[in-house]
């Protein structure tokens, strides 16, 4: 029998309060697990009570969706499945195509790779600036009508874009990076989601591993997606690791790990928030899920707020080219690449 975790609502969907971001099982970060290790982790997550699995067509150029398809679909009724379109690779470079024709093809391709006839939540991974969001959402609405997807989501988009999309078809979820060291969602998107009854899915809730102690002073290897992010480059990395050291001290005082403190902090920010940490380690997964049982005081949570006040983190979160594809609002004093 599966373990049972507390649940939260994402629009019409009920999911475990902590989900699993599946990206780094096939994409972006190094080292990557072998397929057997990735399959074991996915099945362990399901057994441990995770009922929300998040993938995307770009992750491993479809291999991540294929991984979930061959590993989890025999237990399809036990979880909520999310994937994404619009952001892809063309000749090795990130490309946006939010045209209705491209979205229609992407939905069918995702269904084929995932070995299912229905995706519960399907996101626009990014906004294509050359296609009005209303047109892109219209294509997804037709996929809903056809029964291919159950609900529509948006990723890394501004509050104004969320509102424009929501006028075309109800948006179930907005996914944006959110953690103690990336708090752009607090400018407008979090409140917009709460107002409109939209779930908020927090990706990279552990600062892409740095806030969980997964990054050393040597940084990350060449070929790792984070190597192009200023926060993981000198001189910013050393400053950010010093912040992590202080976070780890707060966690020790609270009787938990730094990763658990981050996740508990996120869960405290609103009942409509669901973090989706990613990991290649079963031990780390179990550690993350332990955050749902924490009972932290307002003083303990407030200490995290104060440590990561705006401007405390050193370096931009994206390279200039990647930032150009992100619609989420920025702070006036935010450092941009």
- Six token digits for residue 244: 């992590």
**Is residue 129 reached through a cis peptide bond, with omega within 30 degrees of 0 on the bond before it?**
no
- Residue 205, exposed/middle/buried by CB under 10 A (0-12, 13-18, 19+)? buried
Strand partners, 216: 219
Q: Is 123 considered catalytic here?
A: no
Active-site position among 29, 59, 123, 244: 59
Classify 300 as helix, strand or coil.
helix
In degrees and rounded to multiples of 5, residue 104 shows phi and psi of: -60, -45
CB–CB of 22/55 below 8 Å?
Answer: yes
DSSP characters over 59-126: GGGGHHHHHHHHHHGGGGGGSEEEEEESEEEETTEEEE---HHHHHHHHHHHHHHHT-S-EEEEEESS
Q: Annotated catalytic sites, by residue?
A: 59
């Amino acid at each position: 029998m599966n373990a049972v975790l507390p649940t939260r609502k994402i629009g019409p969907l009920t999911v475990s309060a902590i989900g699993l971001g599946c990206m780094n099982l096939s994409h972006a970060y190094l080292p990557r697990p072998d397929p057997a290790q990735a399959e074991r982790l996915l099945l362990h997550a399901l057994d441990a009570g995770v009922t929300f699995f998040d993938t995307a067509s770009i992750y491993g150029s479809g291999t991540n969706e294929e991984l979930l398809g061959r590993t989890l679909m025999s237990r399809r009724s036990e979880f909520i499945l999310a994937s994404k379109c619009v952001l892809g690779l063309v000749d090795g470079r990130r490309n946006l195509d939010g045209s209705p024709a491209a979205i229609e093809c992407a939905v069918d391709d995702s269904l084929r790779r995932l070995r299912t006839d229905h995706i519960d939540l399907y996101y626009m991974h990014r906004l294509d600036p050359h296609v009005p969001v209303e047109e892109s959402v219209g294509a997804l609405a037709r996929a809903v009508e056809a029964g291919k997807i159950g609900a529509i989501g948006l990723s890394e988009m501004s509050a104004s874009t969320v509102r424009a999309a929501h006028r075309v078809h109800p948006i179930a979820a907005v996914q944006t990076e959110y953690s103690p060291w990336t708090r752009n969602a607090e400018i407008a998107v979090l409140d917009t989601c709460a107002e409109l009854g939209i779930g908020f899915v927090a990706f990279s809730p552990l600062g892409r591993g740095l806030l969980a102690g997964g990054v050393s002073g040597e940084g990350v290897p060449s070929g790792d997606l984070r190597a192009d992010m200023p926060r993981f480059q000198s001189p910013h990395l050393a400053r950010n690791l010093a912040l992590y050291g202080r976070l780890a001290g707060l966690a020790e005082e609270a009787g938990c790990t730094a990763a658990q403190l981050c996740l508990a902090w996120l869960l405290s920010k609103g009942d409509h928030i669901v973090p989706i940490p990613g990991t290649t380690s079963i031990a780390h997964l179990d550690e993350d899920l332990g955050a749902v049982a924490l009972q932290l005081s307002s003083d303990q949570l407030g200490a995290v707020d104060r440590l990561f006040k705006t401007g405390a983190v050193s370096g931009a979160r994206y390279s200039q080219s990647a930032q150009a594809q992100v619609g989420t609002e920025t702070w006036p004093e935010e450092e941009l690449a």
